[in-house]
């Protein structure tokens, strides 16, 4: 029977009984969670076979129409599957979530953008079917586009057509597990060019060694060096006006990610279990208080995600994302306190969950998100200022 905290996060039957959600719950419990410690370890890492099982279950194609090999489900069903997989194994979720961007872009899905701002390339048509089912698995190297100042990766028109990419992309996750990599570059006329290429070293493209990350170190995250990389015209996935892309990216990243909520949900369930198992009623009480607040914020986040057009109420979305990521950090550390010294053992998941909570602070972080997070930490730290759902001592 579900515990009180589990009940707060339990989806309605229409969501819980969806085939994609049932598959995600089964794989999360039976496959991902038992391997999560190994997936976090760079010596072992994410198991490509586990990624393949997610692909086979259609969990990278939840919103893809059924006639194209997906589940044809809505945003809320998709969010539930992400919560379950990210709560079970953050590293496996992080490798697979890279695929969503090229999959969506291959279908021309940049919600809210005017048609004249976007040029869909030939690679979109060529790879659309494989990306839709994730039989062609893709990674991305685009985070550098958010960096102000001199572009990190430049696209120059090549003689005779196509492009030449030069620069350094700091982050590319899943190298060696993905079939293709989507790389974004800044063109001279303030446009962004996105290409889809085989994810292997080739003339003009070289991957560095795996970056020694503090968390999710088994995700095979590398930096890419681009030295006059020749891009054929039919490898272009997307070409978009710079200001329009920046607007879209800020609007999209303002949303709370279901993955953050999945980790928060998992941590609070475990906080309650530790309290019951070790007869620590204060932990059970705190778990209930934090879970009530988390469930409320989760409902607000999903209402914005599924019912409000992208670009509307962005300040509200941003503040909410800041509150939820702060709450995940606070909850993960509360679990460490409740578990005590054994939480520091590498065999215990509590220290890994605390590191994952820190990761959710910086994943797709913009300046606006950073301000919202710091505001949320400040509110939580203010003496004499009550935090909703938690009584402040007299």
For the residues of 258-283, what is the DSSP string, one character each?
A: HHHHHHHHHHHHHHHHHHHHTT-HHH
User: Structural domain tally of the chain?
Assistant: 3
> Quick one: 137 and 207 in the same domain?
yes
pLDDT bucket at 119, cuts 50 / 70 / 90: confident
The predicted-structure confidence for 290-302, as pLDDT tens digits, reads as follows: 999 999 999 999 9
Reply yes or no on whether the pLDDT at 111 is more than 60. no
> Quick one: 265 and 357 in the same domain?
yes
Residues paired with 184 in a beta bridge: 194
CATH number of the domain at 334, please. Answer: 1.20.140.10
Among the candidates 97, 129, 152, a domain finishes at: 97
pLDDT bucket at 115, cuts 50 / 70 / 90: low
Distance CA 339, CA 66 (A): 45
> Quick one: 124 and 92 in the same domain?
no
> Quick one: 23 and 53 in the same domain?
yes
Reply yes or no on whether the pLDDT at 285 is more than 50. yes
The single-letter DSSP state of residue 362 is H
What is the rounded average pLDDT of the residues 128-157? 96
> Quick one: 145 and 221 in the same domain?
yes
CA separation, residue 148 to residues 219, 226, 278 (Å): 27, 19, 50
Question: Within 10 Å of residue 223's Cβ, how many Cβ atoms?
Answer: 18
| Dihedral pair phi/psi, residue 375, rounded to 5° | -60, -40
> Quick one: 289 and 366 in the same domain?
yes
- Per the domain annotation, does 309 fall within a domain? yes
pLDDT of residue 393: 38
pLDDT of residue 391: 43
The predicted-structure confidence for 38-61, as pLDDT tens digits, reads as follows: 999 999 999 999 999 999 999 999
Show Cβ contacts of residue 251 under 8 Å, excluding neighbours closer than 6 positions: 112, 310, 311, 314
Reply yes or no on whether the pLDDT at 147 is more than 80. yes
> Quick one: 143 and 258 in the same domain?
no
The predicted-structure confidence for 175-190, as pLDDT tens digits, reads as follows: 999 999 999 999 999 9
CA separation, residue 305 to residues 283, 321, 351 (Å): 32, 12, 30
pLDDT of residue 110: 63
> Quick one: 288 and 352 in the same domain?
yes
pLDDT of residue 380: 82
């Amino acid at each position: 029977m579900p515990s009180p905290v589990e009940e707060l996060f339990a989806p309605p039957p229409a969501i819980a009984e969806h085939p994609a959600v049932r598959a995600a719950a089964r794989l999360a419990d039976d496959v991902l969670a038992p391997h999560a410690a190994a997936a976090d370890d760079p010596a072992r890492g994410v198991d490509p076979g586990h990624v393949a099982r997610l692909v086979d279950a259609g969990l990278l194609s939840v919103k893809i129409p059924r006639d194209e090999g997906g589940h044809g489900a809505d945003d809320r069903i998709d969010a539930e599957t992400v919560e379950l997989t990210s709560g079970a194994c953050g590293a496996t979720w992080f490798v697979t979530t890279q695929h969503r961007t090229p999959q969506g872009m291959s279908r021309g899905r940049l919600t809210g953008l005017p048609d004249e701002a976007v040029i869909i390339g030939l690679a979109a048509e060529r790879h659309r079917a494989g990306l839709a089912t994730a039989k062609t698995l893709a990674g991305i190297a685009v985070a550098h586009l958010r960096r102000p100042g001199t572009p990190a990766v430049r696209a120059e028109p090549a003689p005779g057509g196509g492009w030449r990419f030069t620069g350094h992309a700091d982050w590319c996750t899943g190298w060696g597990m993905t079939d293709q990599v989507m790389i974004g570059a800044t063109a001279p006329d303030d446009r962004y060019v996105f290409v889809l290429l085989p994810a292997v070293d080739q003339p003009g493209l070289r991957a560095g060694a795996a970056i020694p990350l503090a968390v999710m170190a088994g995700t095979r995250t590398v930096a890419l060096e681009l030295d006059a990389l020749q891009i054929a015209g039919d490898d272009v996935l997307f070409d978009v006006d710079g200001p329009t892309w920046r607007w879209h990216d800020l609007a999209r990243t303002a949303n709370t990610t279901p993955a953050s909520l999945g980790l928060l949900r998992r941590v609070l369930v475990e906080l309650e279990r530790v309290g019951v198992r070790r007869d620590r009623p204060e932990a059970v009480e705190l778990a209930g208080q934090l879970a009530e607040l988390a469930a409320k914020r989760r409902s607000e986040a999903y209402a914005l995600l599924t019912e409000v057009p992208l670009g509307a109420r962005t300040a509200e979305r941003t503040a909410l994302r800041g509150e939820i990521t702060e709450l995940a950090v606070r909850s993960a550390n509360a679990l460490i306190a409740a578990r005590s010294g054994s939480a520091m053992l590498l065999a215990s998941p509590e220290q890994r969950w605390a590191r994952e909570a820190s990761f959710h602070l910086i994943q797709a972080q913009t300046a606006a998100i950073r301000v919202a997070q710091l505001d949320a930490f400040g509110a939580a730290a203010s003496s004499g200022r009550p935090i909703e759902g938690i009584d402040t001592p007299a």
